[in-house]
Structure 1
């Protein structure tokens, strides 16, 4: 084998080694990014579950609003009644 052939082989070996190192570096970055994405997805999943638990009883809001309106209406009737009664007593 001539000297130029040997030099070409060494260049090919070094280039292959550089390619292998680049592939290892890129795969390491990919694995790291996938782990970060997985952790963030888990965090988002937890947040969404907490939000779902937080809003589970929102169906009760209209019913509660109706009952609060009823209590306020009853309070208004008492206020008007007492205003009429106390107004007659002062006169």
Structure 2
């Protein structure tokens, strides 16, 4: 319940903070980065990461494009990684 309250407060605060602001225009490229992921199922939790990320953010067109190479994802378990 505390987590839900945190996310609600965070969401409302973020909406208030960007209201009325002039956002920058321009375009940015994502050339590298790290993606962290977490998957929860009834009997297991899988965590991992990947580092092959690219993309583009264009404020004028209001578009975001991100490409993640899933063959690079690692969960620390080789057989599971092959199945992903």
Scaled by the length of structure 2, the TM-score of the pair is 0.25
The structure richer in helix per residue is 1
Q: Which has the higher strand share?
A: 2
